[in-house]
């Protein structure tokens, strides 16, 4: 039984706590949060010891693995300390908002070759994963274009946005990883060009803190395949999550998921369906559980997980390139 310590008892931390508690080969041993009431609440709910002392948790030699689900500015410190303590680590995205800190982190821990997985949970969505497998198998011929649509149902609070690192590092980073995941299905090579445009059409508060609330980003891989990412901080009909892979002989599409497959037809409208799922907790619940299972299996086997630390860094490089493109109005070329 893998004994897991959870760092962070906020919204995403509770998602991980539930996943660990429901896994047949994992046990939630500790929960940590600097807010004592939050730690005690989650610990009590899942039968785990609760603490506001990170050192005490990491000193427990019976803990095999750590999940870092705390605020982004704490990721590097906790990841580094956990790796030094010999724990396997699943760290929520992004590793950090600054490439320099990400590189310094690996400089501290890389020599010990730690087992580190980064929480790009969408790789584990059953529909997206199937598309990747079928692209890899050559079902649609040579992959030429990828289209990723990701729109949130409502903008986050301005206070959150102000410290989030901006739309590209906070939201689009999931899509940058998904683009790499799909473009890499046939060995297309790294992304070599990034071009981004942004808008402020949703929330004056987001514009006031210097961020954008909508974007379209185009990526070009080394072999010429293109990926287009469309984001918005607001979507009137729910959590819009769609994906398309287009190749020389066909196309694969993942549409929005609905609560049921029931459709209505009448005199006033036809093909009417229930609204799309509300937000990521509903839409990606199975993906979080599959992500944890992959992490548990990697720790058990001593295998390298995917996505790993390098994937986390690569997605942040693309986010930085998109921010530069938005700022300069120019296409940013990567990799020399």
Q: What pTM was estimated for this model as a whole?
A: 0.95
Give the CA angle between residues 218, 188, 306 to the nearest 5°.
95
**Confidence at residue 277, expressed as pLDDT on a 0 to 100 scale:** 80
Secondary structure class of 37 (helix, strand, coil):
helix
| Burial (0-12, 13-18, 19+ Cβ within 10 Å), 96 | buried
- For residue 94, cis peptide bond before it (omega within 30 degrees of 0): yes
**Which of 79-88, 152-161, 221-230, 241-250 has the lowest average pLDDT?**
152-161
Structure tokens at 87: 């724990």
Examine the pLDDT at 186 and tell me if it is beyond 80. Answer: yes
Q: Locate the domains of the chain by residue range.
A: 2-114, 123-288+314-333
Structure tokens at 96: 């950090």
Asked whether the domain spanning 123-288+314-333 has the same topology as the one spanning 2-114, the reply is no
First and final CA of the chain: distance in angstroms? 46
Instruction: Give the pLDDT mean for 225-254.
Output: 97
**Confidence at residue 336, expressed as pLDDT on a 0 to 100 scale:** 61
Summary mean pLDDT of the chain: 95
CATH number for the region 123-288+314-333 comes to: 3.30.360.10
Residue 215: in which H helix or E strand, if any?
Answer: strand 214-221
Q: What topology does CATH give the domain 2-114? A: Rossmann fold (3.40.50)
Examine the pLDDT at 189 and tell me if it is beyond 90. Answer: no
């Amino acid at each position: 039984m893998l004994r897991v310590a959870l760092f962070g008892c906020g919204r995403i931390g509770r998602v991980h706590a539930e996943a660990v508690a429901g896994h047949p080969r994992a046990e939630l041993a500790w929960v940590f949060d600097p807010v004592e009431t939050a730690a005690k609440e989650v610990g009590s709910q899942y039968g785990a010891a609760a603490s506001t002392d990170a050192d005490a948790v990491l000193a427990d030699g019976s803990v095999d693995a750590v999940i870092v689900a705390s605020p982004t500015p704490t990721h590097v410190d906790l990841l580094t300390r956990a790796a030094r303590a010999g724990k396997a680590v699943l760290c929520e995205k992004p590793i950090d908002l600054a490439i320099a800190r990400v590189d310094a982190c690996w400089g501290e821990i890389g020599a010990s070759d730690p087992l580190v997985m980064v929480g790009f949970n969408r790789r584990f969505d059953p529909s997206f994963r199937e598309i990747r497998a079928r692209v890899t198998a050559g079902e649609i011929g040579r992959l030429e274009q990828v289209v990723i649509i990701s729109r949130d149902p409502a903008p986050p609070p301005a206070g959150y946005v102000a410290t989030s690192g901006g739309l590209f590092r906070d939201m689009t980073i999931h899509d940058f990883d998904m683009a790499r995941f799909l473009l890499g299905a046939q060995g297309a090579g790294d992304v070599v060009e990034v071009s981004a445009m942004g808008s402020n059409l949703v929330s004056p508060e987001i514009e006031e803190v210097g961020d954008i609330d909508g974007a379209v980003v185009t990526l070009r891989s080394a072999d010429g395949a293109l990926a287009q990412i469309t984001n918005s901080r607001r979507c009137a009909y729910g959590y819009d999550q769609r994906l398309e892979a287009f190749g020389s002989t066909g196309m694969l599409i993942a549409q929005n998921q609905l609560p049921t497959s029931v459709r209505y037809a009448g005199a006033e409208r036809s093909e009417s369906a229930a609204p799309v799922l509300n937000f990521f907790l509903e839409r990606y619940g199975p993906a979080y559980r599959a992500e944890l299972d992959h992490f548990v299996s990697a720790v058990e086997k001593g295998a390298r997980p995917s996505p790993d630390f390098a994937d986390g860094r690569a997605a942040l490089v693309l986010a930085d390139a998109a921010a530069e493109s938005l700022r300069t109005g120019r296409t940013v070329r990567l990799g020399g």
